[in-house]
A = this chain, B = another copy of it.
Amino acid sequence: MIKAVLLGTGGMMPLKDRALSSLLVSWNGHSALIDCGEGTQVQIRGTGMSFKAIDLLLLTHYHADHVSGLPGLLLSVGNQGRTEPMIIAGPPGLERVVNGLRVIAPELPFPIELKTLSARDTDSLSLFGMTITSFPLQHGIPCLGYRLHLPRAGKFDPARARENGVPLPCWSVLQKQPETVYSGVRYTRDQVMGPPRRGLTIVYATDTRPVPAIAEMAEDADLLVAEAMYGDPEKGESAQQKGHMLMHEAAALARQARPRRLWLTHYSPAMPDPETWLEQTRAIFPATELGTDGLTADLAYIDESDAAPS
């Protein structure tokens, strides 16, 4: 299961009632935060979730509204007593940006590992069972989208175990560990398990023009979080100039990709009422939801009841 909390939904500048866009994703006691603008730490505090559990910070790009909260976040994580390394990943320029901002957070009780991701191709990270794929967006400066995928192992398959001649006492052992030895013979997990089942996938894409990669990455995802800087279709030219996306463009990508849910975010401060445009966006993609600060999803594996027999 994955818990996803949309911590903020604003673009450009933090407002009193609309924090800057970022997403906190948690699974199995671990967390990844995508972007960290000014005020993100306040939003995290509001969820009651742990700072200490933030293993990974994924930065989309280095405009201030996506990264200015970094020093405060690091200090808050440190205050909660983290000692394990934290990984910070982002497009090229990462080291310069993190080192610059750390001028006011030089001493931390945990090490930081920087992972610079490609600005031109997909790139990937694997962490605590989560596979993270970054992909280039189109925003004027290097900017990355992220696909977070939690794979799910296959179901235990007794017919397969029998076919492979795995002795009965090894069956339950191999559901818990990758291999075992019995009467001097080595048996492996893949000899008793069926093919991997559908996992859980979240895709996050701001700030960007609507590029095909977003639809490709979000295909059959459980949740697509996408930028919707403006609702008004007449803002097309402005969006194009500034490298942003309109609500109807995000919905059109979702219509192609067919994620189970679409959350819109990163609203312009000049758009106080995104609801104005919701109906016509849902006409394009019915499962569209307007992101609001604190919007939460508990994503569960489909058919959670089909657990393997023990």
Contacts and interface: CB of A to CB of B under 8 A. Distances in A.
Given A100-B100, A103-B96, A42 B15 contact: yes
Copies in the complex: 2
Instruction: Tell me which of A39, A41, A45 has the highest count of chain B C-beta atoms within 10 A of its own C-beta.
Output: A39
User: Is chain A's binding surface mostly helix, strand, loop or mixed?
Assistant: helix
Interface string A113-130: 000000000000000000
A71 interface: yes
Among A14, A38, A69, A96, find the residue whose CB has the most chain B CB atoms closer than 10 A: A38
A217 to B, nearest CB: 26
Contact of A39 (B39, B67, B102): B39
A105 interface: yes
A13 B41 contact: yes
B38 A41 contact: yes
A72 interface: yes
Contacts of A76: 13
- Chain A interface residue count: which class? 20 to 34
Contacts of A63: 104
A16 interface: yes
B64 A71 contact: yes
Contacts of A14: 39, 41-42, 72
A38 B38 CA distance: 6
A153 interface: no
B38 A16 contact: no
A143 to B, nearest CB: 14
